[in-house]
Amino acid sequence: MSFLRRRKGTDSSKSQNLRCNIVKEDEKNNLYESPRKESYNSKKWSCWDSCCWFIGFVCSVWWFLLLLYNTMPASIPQYVTEAITGPLTDPPGVKLRKEGLTVNHPVVFVPGIVTGGLELWEGHQCAEGLFRKRLWGGSFGELYKRPLCWAQHMSLDNETGLDPPGIRVRPVSGLVAADYFAAGYFVWAVLIANLAQIGYEEKTMYMAAYDWRLSFQNTEVRDQTLSRIKSNIELMVATNGGKKVVVIPHSMGVLYFLHFMKWVEAPPPMGGGGGSEWCAKHIKAVMNIGGPFLGVPKSVSGLFSVEARDIAIARTFAPGFLDKDVFGLQTFQHLMRMTRTWDSTVSMIPKGGETIWGGLDWSPEGSSFNCGAKTLRNNSINNTDQIPNINLANMKNVNYGRIISFGKDVAEAHSSKIERVDLLQDSMKADMLANLTNCDIWIEYHDIGDHRIKAAADYKVYTAGSILDLLHFVSPKLMARGGAHFSYGIADNLDDPKYQHYKYWSNPLETKLPDAPDMEIYSMYGVGIPTERAYVYKVTTATDCSIPFQIDTSVEGGSEDSCLKGGVFSADGDETVPVLSAGLMAAKGWRGKTRFNPSGIPTYIREYSHAPPANLLEGRGTQSGAHVDIMGNFALIEDIIRVAAGATGKELGGDHVYSDIFKWAERINLQL
């Protein structure tokens, strides 16, 4: 029994040990399995999976809303908008149709620089499959797919200013040439749609598209564009009962049509042979929108360093990024090399020198614009009571006449305190010493030695009188071509035979308006937006292959209302064209019978005070005064439709002015 009891105890202890071993193995297995389970679970709910689910959810909701938007009645979006913003006003076309206005005078649109579409007709191997595809305007798909090939085909020949060998890029024809610049970004589309509301259609509307890269006379040499415009206007007058056309140029198109009016009168082979009465017989009115009649300082910064305010700010946030070799591209160098083959850019260099734009210690604008003032919304076409009050006592005079200054101290100091090293002229006369650095992308700065770059900076400050010397210095090839097609002075004697040359025809200070006393000229532009007027520059310390000059964005005016921000002095304008350039000729140079307007063509100023959209539902706004967005301004569109329907400038109410353009005109000593 004792034996049995010992065996039983032994078995009991063994079984107990066995159970302990099993438990230990289970615990050991659990230790191995637990991380696997946790790892499995964490992988199942990773951040990547959450992002995919989130993107899928957003896309599903987006497609559902898009489907809902396209299937719902058209009145529902309008109902929602009106519920948020209040009742919407009728578009001008609908409003004027209710008043009984109908189609009358045929209209001609003249687009400006950049906004017209360009398509490929012949190209190199890298552009295979792009025949008659848009290289400019539309989706800009080829810019993203093959940027170097795109830049090559958008460039002109650097010697002739015409097509490079084996490349033909031509303007898109028809109203689609400039109705939209890109998908959803209108240019002429809103105006066309409103004209259609009172009966206009393609037979009574004509888009005078041209290759905006070329000099104005070269559009005739290469494409016979000026002859086509002449023939189309004559056809429109003949097929519309002899009713004269209303011409509506925008931006650089204003200068282009000014050139056309002299070309059409001039005898062949230089001109169109229409005779001195052609404009009087065919044109009722020229309604210029945002016209840079006397040039824009923005063109100077573009030629000098391929910059404007926005690009300079972008450089601040990403220093050197655009200058570097990013994905095989040196953005600024490619952009400079391409744009400096576009002769049209030279047409917008400031004209009239210091007489118009001011000198070292004076400018016509003085200090009469508060860059920090907020624009009030103004829904009335003829209401001038909402002009913001400006406390001139709290404002500091701005030396706008100094278009380029190297350093803030130079920009603000009196001219007697500026020590200038006058090395520029000597340097220009000296032999050019090319940089020895091998650069992948050639630009004209690579042909300039460091001593000449230093000389340009040591000259300190440039006015409209000396800016041409600077541009000849930094861009000799472009300025040599441009000098054969454009001029920037003020004529002493307009009867001098030399002014019969086409290089003077787009400068209103060196040419006469047509002999057409019944024709009307309108200057229509936005006001109330700080617009680039002068710049503070610095010399960069980047590599030898970079652009040596750059806007100094660290320079600030020191107060909220200052007109100096980010190295840029601002004046009143439409964000691109200062009021001085857009309005001076209508306010003074062409006002009444002058040597520039010998037949006394009536001129009117129609300014539109800028009011930004109140909310996102307004899109780009119906009261915008911005350079391109003004094409959707209801007040401007109403003015155009009324004139096209037969109204005169007096019936519109004459001048409609917000700015101090008439005061500035009095300060300018322009011989009339």
pLDDT tens readout for residues 502-548:
999 999 999 999 999 999 999 999 999 999 999 999 988 655 667 88
- pLDDT higher than threshold 50 for residue 435: no
Q: Mean pLDDT across the stretch 214-235?
A: 97
Catalytic residue check, 447? no
- pLDDT higher than threshold 50 for residue 430: no
- pLDDT higher than threshold 50 for residue 178: yes
* Cβ neighbours around 158 below 10 Å, total: 15
Element (H, E) at 406: strand 404-406
Catalytic residue check, 385? no
Report pLDDT for 68. Answer: 66
Report d(CA 156, CA 163) in Å as an integer.
Answer: 5
| 3-state DSSP assignment of residue 260 | helix
Q: Are 347 and 486 in contact (CB under 8 A)?
A: yes
Report pLDDT for 78. Answer: 53
**pLDDT classification of 76: cutoffs 50, 70, 90:** low
Report pLDDT for 395. Answer: 47
Q: Does 424 reside within a domain?
A: yes
Most confident of the following: 16-20, 88-92, 261-265, 444-448: 261-265
Report d(CA 598, CA 222) in Å as an integer.
Answer: 33
Q: Mean pLDDT across the stretch 634-646?
A: 97
| 3-state DSSP assignment of residue 231 | helix
Report pLDDT for 316. Answer: 45
Most confident of the following: 64-78, 130-144, 145-159, 223-237: 223-237
Q: Does 161 reside within a domain?
A: no
Report pLDDT for 71. Answer: 66
Q: Mean pLDDT across the stretch 129-146?
A: 84
Report d(CA 105, CA 103) in Å as an integer.
Answer: 7
Most confident of the following: 336-340, 453-457, 584-588: 584-588
Report d(CA 81, CA 368) in Å as an integer.
Answer: 38
Q: Does 512 reside within a domain?
A: yes
Q: Which of 179, 211, 574, 629 is catalytic?
A: 574
C-alpha dihedral over 144, 112, 250, 610, to 10 degrees? Answer: 40
DSSP character at residue 169: E
**pLDDT classification of 72: cutoffs 50, 70, 90:** low
Give the DSSP letter string of 562-602. -SEETTEEEEEEBSSSBHHHHHHIIIIISSSSBTTBTT---
Element (H, E) at 180: strand 180-182
Q: Which of 155, 215, 251, 466 is catalytic?
A: 251
Report pLDDT for 617. Answer: 65
Side-chain half-sphere of 589: how many Cα atoms within 13 Å? 26
Helix crossing, 252-265 with 225-238: angle to 10°? 80
- pLDDT higher than threshold 50 for residue 588: yes
Q: Mean pLDDT across the stretch 359-365?
A: 92
- What ranges make up the beta strands (E) of 402-560? 404-406, 461-462, 520-527, 529-539, 549-551
Element (H, E) at 27: helix 2-44
Report pLDDT for 324. Answer: 47
Q: Does 347 reside within a domain?
A: yes
Backbone angles phi, psi at 534, to 5 degrees: -155, 165
Q: Mean pLDDT across the stretch 572-600?
A: 97
Report pLDDT for 73. Answer: 63
Report pLDDT for 317. Answer: 41
Least confident of 57-71, 147-161, 365-379, 404-418: 365-379
More confident site: 87 or 95: 95
SS3 content of the chain, % helix, strand, coil (to 5): 45, 15, 45
* Cβ neighbours around 335 below 10 Å, total: 19
Q: Does 274 reside within a domain?
A: yes
Total-model pTM = 0.84
Mean pLDDT (the chain, rounded): 83
Q: Which residues pair with 523 in a beta bridge?
A: 288, 605
Residues constituting the chain: 672
Catalytic residue check, 251? yes
Least confident of 438-452, 465-479, 521-535, 603-617: 438-452
Count the helices and strands in the chain (H runs, E runs): 24, 19
Element (H, E) at 235: helix 225-238
Name the residue with tokens 């689910």. 53
Report pLDDT for 318. Answer: 43
Q: Does 39 reside within a domain?
A: no
Report pLDDT for 190. Answer: 95
DSSP character at residue 375: P
- pLDDT higher than threshold 60 for residue 237: yes
Host domain of residue 281: 89-117+172-369+396-671
Q: Which of 457, 629, 482, 483 is nearest to 538 (CA)?
A: 457
Q: In what order do the strands lie in the sheet with 118-122?
A: 134-136, 118-122, 168-171
Q: Mean pLDDT across the stretch 442-448?
A: 69
Name the residue with tokens 């300014």. 607
Q: Residue 637 is encoded by which pair of tokens?
A: 């569109």
Backbone φ/ψ region at 287: left (φ over 0), alpha (ψ -120 to 50), beta: beta
Most confident of the following: 233-247, 331-345, 422-436: 233-247
- pLDDT higher than threshold 50 for residue 458: yes
Least confident of 165-174, 382-391, 411-420: 382-391
| 3-state DSSP assignment of residue 486 | coil
Q: Residue 89 is encoded by which pair of tokens?
A: 């006003």
Q: Does 199 reside within a domain?
A: yes
More confident site: 321 or 671: 671
Q: Domain total for the chain?
A: 1
pLDDT tens readout for residues 365-415:
986 667 766 544 443 444 433 344 444 334 466 889 999 999 999 998 888
Report pLDDT for 438. Answer: 62
Q: Which of 107, 195, 180, 87 is nearest to 137 (CA)?
A: 180
Q: Which of 259, 610, 627, 656 is catalytic?
A: 627
Report d(CA 251, CA 187) in Å as an integer.
Answer: 11
Least confident of 135-139, 372-376, 377-381, 455-459: 377-381
Q: Does 441 reside within a domain?
A: yes
* Cβ neighbours around 604 below 10 Å, total: 23
